[in-house]
Structure 1
C-alpha cells in the first residue's frame, strides 16, 4: 500500500500502460486497514524546528490520543469526531497526523479550516509544509513545493487522488470552494458567528461534505470559551461525551481526572497530589506515564447524534515533561481575584467552558444569604455612601436606593425609598431632598450622609434637568446610559448641557452600565472565605430587603446575539434595584476609589472618624460561608 507515483519523481519517465495500470489500481484500491495512530507511529516525523520533542512520532507518549485519531480512520463508523480539550495535550499534532494519513493512505478532497485566512496561511507554512517535508513518504508523492508543476501553493496542496485546501472561517468563498470528503475544523470557538451573511461556518463546511455521504468525516477541535456560546461544547454535548478513565495507582479504581481532585497545601503548589475518588489516597504525578498507558475512553452519555463521537481532555492529563500539576496549581493560585486569568485557566488548562456570572446568580440565593442589622444604621465596614434615583412613569414615581461602600469595593444595601408622583412636580422630589439631608448612624457613632447621588436623566429628561439645575452638582450627578463596554472609562467626563431660560449648565455624565452590571454579578458569586472573612467586592443584603428587591437586583442576564454582540436582557419584569445599584456604583467611580490602597481607605476612615470607639454597636449577623456554587475550595471561579 506504500504507493508512490513514479511520475512524481524528479527523473521519472512515462512508462505507458504500466503507469496507467498503477493509477487505476491506486484509484480502485479498498480502504486502508492501517489506522491513523498506526500510520503516525510508522511514518510521522516531528520537525526539529517546531516540535518540543522532535523525531519519530510516538502515540504511547500521548496514549489518550490513540482513540481520537483512530476514530478519524476511514474504517471507523463515526462521521463527526469532536475534541473539546485544554492546551498542551497534543491535539494539533493529532490533526496533522490525520492530514498526513489522508494524503498518503486515504486520498480524497480534504478541507482544513482555521479561524481566519491569515491563520490558515501560518498553519500551512509552520505546520503542514513541515509535515510534508519531514516525512519521506509524503515528500515523495507531493513533489517539490517550489516547483511550478507541483500543484502546491500556500493554501492548496495537491497529491495523487486528492487535494488539501486550507481556508479561514471568515471566508465564505473559501468555505464553498469545493466538495470535500474530509474536513478538519480547528479552534472552532474562534470562528465568526456568521460568515459573509451566509450562516454558520461549521454548517457551511458540513454542506460541502454531503456529496460523499457516509464516507464523509469531520474533525472538530477547540479549546472552549463561554458556556452557552461555545461551539465545541455544543458539538460535544451532542456526542457520546467520552472521558478518559485512568486507574488509581493504589487501589486500581477507574476514574476520570477532575480539577476538584487535585489537592495541595496553600502556597505550596509543589505539593500537588491527586485524591482517588475510591480510596482517598493521594497519588503523585510521577505515576502519570503508567496510569495514562492503562487508561481507556468511556462514553458518559447517549449521543443526540448517533454518528458523532466526542472526547474531552484537560491539562491534568498532560504527559510528564509538558504541563505539570505543580504548574497548574501555581497558575490557579496566581489567578485568584482576577476574572480574566480565571477564565483563561478554565478554558485553556481545564478545557471547560466559563460560566458568565449572570448565569450563576439567582435571586433565591441572595434572599437566603441576607444578613440582619438595624434599619437606618451602617455596619462597621461602610466608609462612604452613594445613592441613586431611577425615574419611573407607570406608576409615576421616583425610586431611591442607598448603598454603603468599603475597602475593596465591599458593599452594603442600606435602604430603599419610593416617592410617588410625576417627575415634574416639585413635591415628588421633596422626598429625595429629605434623603440628602438625612443621616445614618455608623457603628462608630458617627452620623453619615449620602456622599454622592446619581440621577438618571434618560426618562422625563426636562423634569429631571429642572430639579438637578437647582442642586449642588458636585454632590448630585446627572447621568445617562450609553451602549458599549468601555471598561477603562465607564463614566465619561461631564459635558455641560445648557438648560432653561438662564441656560444653567447640567453637567451630564454618560455611563456604560454594562461594565458595572458585569462587576456586580461577579461580586455576587463570591462567598465568604474559610476563615470567615469577606472577599473584596462582597455584596451584603439586609433582611429588610424583600424577595422582589432581590429579584430586581439580578433581573437581567448577558446573552450573545447572532451578530456576536453581547447584550443584557430582562429576565424579570422590573429592574429598578439593578439600575440603582449601577448608578450608585457609577457615582462612586467618580471618586476613583477602585485604585485606592488599603492605606488610602484607612486614611479615609480616620478623616471620617469611623474607627473610633463605637457609641452604639450595630449588630450584623454572619451569612453562611458558602457561595452560589456551594462549598468551594480555594475560591473556585473568583
Structure 2
C-alpha cells in the first residue's frame, strides 16, 4: 500500500507498480480507436474508385489457411490514404486457382476520378504462413511489383523496413540459393503510426468544400467497409509489459482473434515505404499529379492545395462481394 500511495500522480510509477508488484500489463489508454466511432467517420465514394488526392496504389496480402485477404490502399501527399478495395480470395495457398486470382489482381485497374486507370504499384505479401508457396508465387510473377515481407517485433522508426535480403527458396521441390528477395518489417512501428492517424481531428465538410486539406496521414474509410472489417482494423492495443529482467517495454496485443484488416494495412504501408513514398522529392509528387491530371490551384488563398478535374459522368466502380 505504501508503494501504491507513493506512485500516485505519476503514470510511469503506476506502470512500474502494476508491472513489477502486481504482475499486470499496463494498457496505454486510447491506443485502440472505437470501431463504432470509425463507422461514424466513414465517407461516401464509389467502391473501387480512387479519390482525387490519391496518387498511387499499394496492396497488402495476408495468407491464411483457406484464403488470401487483400486490401488495396490509395496514397497521397503526406501519406493521406484511402481504402479502395477489399478482396477475399478463397482457396488458400494450396490451391493454384487462388494464386492465379492473386496474379490477376496485379493487372487489375482502378479508376481515378480524373478518368485515368491505375494499377497496384507494389503489393506486399506476408511470408509467415506457407513461406515456400509465397516465395514460389512471388518469383513467378516477379519481384518488381511484389515484395515478400516478414514481420518482426519491436520499433524502428528511422527504418521500419529493411532489405531486401536474398534468401534460399524451395521451388517445385528444388532448393534455390538466393532464390527470393525478402523485406523485414517492424510491424509495431506502422501500427503505432496508424492509430494516431485514426484519432486525429478532421476538417468539417464545409472546410473541405472550401479547399482546406485534411491533416497529413488522414485515413479515409468508405461507407462499404462493414463492422467486421472495422473491428479487425482496431483489433489490437498497445500495452506496457514487464520483461523477465523486470524492465518495461511496449508491445501490441490482440483484443480479438481476427486482425487481418490491420495486418493488410501494415503490409500495404510497408509496400508504400518500399516503393519509396517516404523519400520522394517534390518533383516526384508533381509528376504523379501531372499524370493523373491533378492541377494545383489556390482556393481561399491556400497555395498548397490541389484538386483534380472531376469527371462529368459517373465512373465504373469495382467492389468486393465480401463488403456486400
TM-score, with structure 1 as normaliser: 0.41
1:189 is aligned to 2:24: no
Provide the residue aligned with 1:385 in structure 2.
Answer: 57
Q: Do the aligned residues in 2 keep the contact of 1:373 with 1:618 (CA within 8 Å)?
A: no
- Aligned partner (choices 2, 11, 31) of residue 358 of structure 1: 31
Q: Is the 8 A contact 1:407 1:598 kept in 2?
A: no
Q: Deviations over 1:84-117 (max 9, x none)?
A: 3xxxxxxxxxxxxxxxxxxxxxxxxxxxxxxxxx
Cα distance, 1:437 vs. partner?
1.0
Q: 1:616 to 1:570 in 2, by over 3 A?
A: farther
CA distance in 1, matches of 2:274, 2:60: 14
Residues 55-134 of structure 1 aligned to structure 2 (within 5 Å): 84=9
Q: Could you say which residue in structure 1 is the equivalent of 2:156?
A: 486
Describe the shift of the 1:80–1:406 C-alpha distance in structure 2 as closer, same or farther (beyond 3 A). Answer: closer
Taking structure 1 as reference, are residues 190 and 414 closer, same or farther at Cα in structure 2, changes over 3 Å only?
A: same
* Cα displacement (A) at 1:518: 0.7
- Supply the distance in 1 between the matched residues of 2:109 and 2:159 (Cα, whole angstroms): 31
**Structure 2 residue 200 is the aligned partner of structure 1 residue 526:** yes
| Kept after mapping to 2: 8 A contact 1:442/1:618 | no
- Cα separation, 2, equivalents of 1:425 and 1:497: 24
CA distance in 1, matches of 2:13, 2:5: 19
Normalized against structure 2, the TM-score is what?
0.79
| Structure 1 equivalent of residue 303 of structure 2 | none
Residue 431 of structure 1, CA deviation? 1.4
- Residue deviations 1:575-600 (CA, integer Å, cap 9, x gap): 00000000000010113322446564
The CA RMSD measured in Å over matched residues stands at: 2.8
Q: Which has the higher strand share?
A: 2
The structure 2 residue matched to 1:551, chosen from 231, 244, 263, is 231
CA contact (8 A) 2:93 2:99 kept: yes
Where does residue 259 of structure 2 map in the other structure?
Answer: 575
* Contact 2:7/2:13 (8 A) holds in 1: no
Q: Residues 513 and 471 from structure 1, CA distance in 2 versus in 1: closer, same or farther, beyond 3 angstroms?
A: same
State the Cα deviation string for residues 282-305 of structure 1 (Å, max 9, x = none): xxxxxxxxxxxxxxxxxxxxxxxx
1:535 to 215, 219, 222: 215
Partners of 1:441 and 1:447 within 8 A in 2: yes
CA contact (8 A) 2:63 2:92 kept: no
610-619 or 440-449: which moved more?
610-619
- Please state how far the C-alpha of 1:493 moved relative to its aligned partner: 1.3
Equivalent pairs counted in the alignment come to 283
Pairing 1:437–2:260 present = no
Bigger Rg over Cα: 1
Match of 2:41 in 1: 369
Alignment of 1:403 with 2:73, yes or no, is yes
Q: Which one of 148, 167, 181 corresponds to residue 507 of structure 1? A: 181
For 1:188 and 1:401, the matched residues in 2 are separated by 37
